A and B are shown apart, each in its own frame.
Chain A
Amino acid sequence: MPDTVHENAAQKSGTLLGADELVINMGPQHPSTHGVLRVKLKLDGERVIGSECVIGYLHRGVEKIAENRTYQQFAPYVDRMDYVAAVSNGLGYCEAVEKLLVVEAPPRARVIRTILTELQRIASHLLWLGTHALDVGALTPLFYCMREREEVLKIFEKYCGARLTTHAFRIGGLQYEAYDTLEKDVERFCGSFEGRIQQYSDLLTGNSIWIGRTRNVGILNSTDCIALGVSGPVLRASGVKWDLRKAMPYAAYDQYKFEIPVGTRGDTYDRYMVRIEEMRQSRLICLQAIENIPAGPIMARVGKVLKPPAGEVYHAIEGPKGVLGYYIVSDGSVMPYRVRIRPPSFINLQALDKMIRGHLVTDVVAIIGTLDIVLGEVDR
């Protein structure tokens, strides 16, 4: 298709290349695609008139692997999907299997899970903010964001020994008791973090370059969002007040007060504002949670050998990127018959074509950044 386009244009203009339309490849090795995403862009000058995503470079067949592992053996694999939010992935998987087994994690485990998951949301949003700002041309926020993310990763490291692919939770609860100074560490982090968010805000929110690069760029309205299945901060920035932590509470979210930030225009700037505010809300959830961590066991009574009764379950949580769902079918054996992961990045990425049409190539970089995709999860 691209070649014929070129030839026709070339014949008309009498030059070697048609000057009006051009197809270029962005990625898969392009720093601003945040991984190995390849986008074929059809351009008119510098304006995008069409696009196609080519994905699958990181496909590892996670769902196939699941069918050949026991329920516990598969748990660490989910950390490697959205590897910047491993704790959230683990929470979704553990809760889904617990639903399948019809057991519930004890209250203490649920609160600790909530704390760690919210810290993970902050860490994920920080990495997004730093790299997104970097893509758009603001170098400084990256260093600040990495500094704060480091604090969160240190808490993870103290808790379970791992920083990135944590495998922090177990089916039925937790393996590790909270370490002695967990509350203090979280409190210290939250104490300084409010001011730190303000710092990023000062750098970006009123910055005229930032506004110029993000305002009215990549608008996606609520109707399109819902039609395309888009969820998470991207959906909320278009004005839909929907967050699974409120709509269908899991873990311990029903115990805490927090707001769901929404945008109005659904542009890149709104998505930025929504995520910034979400970090503030996550901080508030953490502060409420550490005040009262209930005593008691951290593990429900589940067998050493898990054989969920035959049947199926779908469980979704509000991950940092959007709705992260697990559909698990059991045939009564020790291995799942089928595990389907609903990856928020994969489904959100589908909206890219709609968002970049009519924009310049430089805006494509901003829009890929604002979608906050992780290719490990897109390709699974």
Chain B
Amino acid sequence: MADESKAPQSPESSQPDVAGSIPAPSAASAAPSSTVKAATPAPVQLPLDNELSRRYRERFGSAILDALEDRKQSILILDAKHLLEIARYSRDEEKFELLEDYTAVDWPRREKRFDLVAQLYSFTHNTRLRLKILLRADQQPATLVPIWPAANWLEREIFDLFGISFRGHPNLKRILLPDEWQGHPLRKDYDILQQDTAWVRENLGIESGQ
């Protein structure tokens, strides 16, 4: 919304579809910049084929669905069934000792609705690796707590905000929202103004938190 406001300094229109919102006089200032930008148009996702991805593919075969490189970062896309073995292998053999982050992304129109995204870091090699696990809405992935205890709260947060249940988690309950709350706010079908009105009315004594 704020972007439609008029530009005080010369804006740089790298995207053709925003050119309409910029008045004609800026064409002169945009001309030199477009020549600067033209050299780097398409970074995006490329197939990843390096030592690391080859080792994973050799070992796990079809469980590695894909390997990508995005902005120079390595991503392995996995099938949820083999999550635990691959995680253990990553920690013990590939020396990714640290589970830096674990989260999810909701793609409601996809057949496999969720991505579970784990950011791994290796102290030994000073490298990062991202594991992405594709998940159907009714699927329950195995918990990573036995491999990286750090996953405990992170999985609880995913459970809380996305409604994904982890098989074998020692204490799977909501962590940020109240225990009785209905709904999972980070799902795409949960509107930003939506809330558990009944809970708010009962516990806060007000009609709406908005």
Contacts and interface: CB of A to CB of B under 8 A. Distances in A.
Interface of A: 55-56, 59, 61, 63-65, 67-68, 70, 72-73, 99-100, 102, 226-229, 240, 242, 247-248, 301-305, 307, 309-314, 316, 323, 325, 327, 329, 334, 337-338, 340, 342, 346-347, 350, 379-380
Contact of A55 (B18, B21, B101, B176): B176
Given A70-B1, A312-B71, 4 more contacts: A301-B12, A305-B3, A311-B70, A327-B101
A304 B103 contact: no
B189 to A, nearest CB: 12
13 contacts: A56-B176, A59-B176, A226-B123, A229-B148, A301-B12, A301-B37, A305-B3, A314-B73, A314-B130, A327-B101, A337-B105, A338-B105, A342-B100
A327 B192 contact: no
Nearest to A304: B11
Interface size class of B (residues with CB under 8 A): 35 or more
B210 interface: no
Nearest to A302: B12
Contact of B3 (A61, A301, A334): A334
B126 interface: yes
B153 interface: yes
Contact of B117 (A70, A226, A327, A346): A327
In the A-B complex, the 8 residue pairs with the closest CB atoms: A229-B150, A304-B11, A56-B176, A342-B101, A340-B103, A305-B18, A59-B176, A102-B43
Contacts of B101: 314, 325, 327, 340, 342
Contact of A64 (B3, B70, B126, B192): B192
Nearest to A103: B40
B42 interface: yes
B126 A311 contact: no
B62 interface: no
Contacts of B163: none
Interface string B1-42: 111000100011111001001100000000001001100101
A240 B150 CA distance: 17
Contacts of A314: 73, 101, 119, 128, 130
B62 to A, nearest CB: 24
B42 A309 contact: yes
Nearest to B151: A229
Contacts of A229: 98-100, 148, 150, 154
B103 A327 contact: yes
Interface string B79-122: 00000000000000000011111010110000000000101000
Given A303-B13, A309-B43, A316 B153 contact: no
A176 B106 CA distance: 37
A68 B101 CA distance: 23
Contacts of A68: 192
Contact of B119 (A56, A61, A325, A346): A325
A142 B56 CA distance: 53
B206 interface: no
B36 A347 contact: no
A209 B62 CA distance: 61
Interface string B36-73: 11001011110000000000000000000000001101
Contacts of A304: 3, 7, 11-13, 18, 22
B1 A303 contact: no
Contact of B15 (A307, A325, A329, A337): A307
Nearest to B8: A304
Contacts of A340: 101, 103, 117
Contacts of A323: 100
B137 interface: no
